[in-house]
Amino acid sequence: MKRRPPFSTARKPATTAVNTDDEALYRRALQCYEQGRYDEAFAICESLRSRPAFQGRACLVLGCIHLLRQQAEAAETVLRIAAQKLGSTDAWYNLALALTATDKPEQAEKAYRQTLQLDPKQPKAWNNLGNLLNRGHEWEPPQQAIECYRRAIELQPDYARAHVNLAFARRKLADWSEAGGPQPAQLLSIIDNSKSNAHDPLSLLACPGTSPELLRDMAASYARSRWRRELSLPPLVNKVADLSGRRIRVGYLSADLRKHPVTHLITDVIAHHDRERFEVFLYAYGPEIEDEERQTLRRLAEHFTSVSALSDRAAAEKIRADGIDLLVDLTGFTIHARLGITALRPAAVIASWLGYIGSLGEPRLADYIIGDAMATPPERARDFSESLALMPHCFQPNRALTAAMPVPNRQAENLPDDAFVFCSFNQCFKLSPDLWDDWCRILSSTGNSVLWLAPINPVARDNLRREAVRRGIAAERLIFAKWRSLPEHQGRLALADLALDTWPYNSGTTASDALRAGVPLVTMIGDTFVGRMGASLLHCLGLDELITKDRASYTALAVALAMDKARLHALRATLASRLPNAPLFDPQRFSRDLERLFQAMLDQRARGQSGIVRA
């Protein structure tokens, strides 16, 4: 949302006489609002809302201030009155913002549609309606959402945020047509030339040509635009507390403490924390889903608190009241982000980890970003607003190796018995025309081979088959997997011969799942954190020979391994021999390393210093 949500000074003709003193008060409230003196504006409008002639206008201002304060429920209450009394586009638009924030998508959609019925030339309303229609459709963005983004762009051709949203939605459908919207290079140019650089950088992580400097600077602009007020307030906690004679209180803040890849990665870390030295707090927001994964976390953590219903301020005050020494944000800019909580600084030390693989851009949001020397090398420290906190092996935790489920036969997965099977189970948005060129070149050079892909939506499947045919590859050489439970999926991965990493956004859990199953991974190392994840995993296993530096060597290595059975067999044997003792799949060892890193962060900050720390 904008720093100041819009509101109109126009109103319907009053049916009662307007008191000139009240009119002067109202104009003073508007002046205070425009000058950022929100407390004064709020007090005046509270006094005016009982006046029939000013109730709608006063409630609109009150609602906008509530929105700025992240008080969505209070905003909804007064904005309903404003919409009823004024019937203006601004009243309906701000009500839609409030209803979105209170997680009432159907009502928010109606409010946006009412806004656009009154004035269809509202690009922000079209863009936000597209986002709303896109909610809950991670795999297949509805065509309606895409059309909303296009309407926004028609009305405002330089509306970079709508361009980014449209491009990301199309990536999920593998829609790379020139006519459908800007290609990556054009998109970066649009962003570079836009009046505001306040765009969510998440959707650009997979965009070829995006530099780490651009991602850092975009993150900074976006954070300062969206959480400007919280960033301007005095921090709730200023210094590291005395830790002598007591356990360190570490808090994990996340929107994904449920069935989600982040929870899959951190559960064993939580389980193996040294409870004699650390007291563990989990703070959950986002979807309130009491599934098995959340129940497990409830049992493992000493404290589990849902802050979903709390404002950012109230959530931050709860964290401060719990006396958290070090707060770990596991969400960043990903879906349901609430960085307003960390912007208020409820702990003396804050670290960013796992959820968003990149810099948050604004130093106040996190003091440290947890990485490792391969994924976040010290020489690239300038790419981050945070100080680097380096794990000794790999930044990504993983569950311990367990007895794998029986490997099915290839026929059960529609795989040919006699073919060489390349695999990549990455989400569709990580694919690009350039990457597809490389994969089709690999298929073309290896003859009897197939590419085994993740289960994706039908539109994307058809588009990928069409793109393969355009590059001279028969559509039947693409085999899309069926949905399986995670244990079943991890078991079937052993059917593949070689995994292909995506670039510039590497595999994360997708890569570690393949390696866990004994399937080597070929990666191409990039400049960004997300572009170095595959290299980090392979380096941790001592398989640096699978890390390539450019597209030519990436494709050449994949082809060479497919054509040399003896070399590939030796490589798989090496991987299998290293897995049992690999730090990559030793969560207890990982937890000890992480705790040493936590201690190093706290010690450095207690000294009033900053900079790279190591476990």
Rg (CA), the chain: 26
pLDDT confidence of residue 572: 97
Percent of the chain clearing pLDDT 70 (strictly above): 95
DSSP result, 339-374: THHHHT--SSEEEE-SSS-S--S-GGG-SEEEEETT
pLDDT confidence of residue 7: 55
Question: What is the length of the chain?
Answer: 615
Q: What is the three-class DSSP state of 252?
A: strand
pLDDT confidence of residue 403: 77
* DSSP H stretches of helix in 87-210: 89-101, 105-118, 123-134, 143-155, 160-172, 184-193
Q: What is the pLDDT of residues 83-137, one digit of tens each?
A: 999 999 999 999 999 999 888 889 999 999 999 999 999 999 999 999 998 886 6
At residue 59, does pLDDT exceed 90? Answer: yes
Q: What is the pLDDT of residues 260-304, one digit of tens each?
A: 999 999 999 999 999 999 999 999 998 888 999 999 999 999 999
pLDDT confidence of residue 187: 79
> Where is average pLDDT lowest: 196-210, 349-363, 429-443?
196-210
Band of residue 58 on the pLDDT scale cut at 50, 70, 90:
very high
Q: What is the pLDDT of residues 380-439, one digit of tens each?
A: 999 999 999 999 999 999 999 987 778 899 999 999 999 999 999 999 999 999 999 999
Question: 176 to each of 211, 222, 460, how far by Cα in Å?
Answer: 21, 27, 10
At residue 259, does pLDDT exceed 80? Answer: yes
pLDDT confidence of residue 416: 97
Q: What is the three-class DSSP state of 195?
A: coil
pLDDT confidence of residue 194: 72
Average of pLDDT values for 485-497?
A: 94
pLDDT confidence of residue 195: 61
Residues forming a β-bridge with 305: 283
At residue 3, does pLDDT exceed 90? Answer: no
Most confidently modeled of 11-20, 125-134, 151-160, 498-507? Answer: 498-507
At residue 441, does pLDDT exceed 90? Answer: yes
The DSSP symbol for 136 reads: T
Work out whether the CA dihedral 143, 149, 151, 157 comes out positive or negative. Answer: negative
Domains present along the chain, CATH in parentheses: 1-107 (1.25.40.10), 121-211 (1.25.40.10), 232-399+590-614 (3.40.50.11380), 410-585 (3.40.50.2000)
Q: Other CB atoms closer than 10 Å to residue 275's CB: what's the count?
A: 10
Band of residue 158 on the pLDDT scale cut at 50, 70, 90:
confident
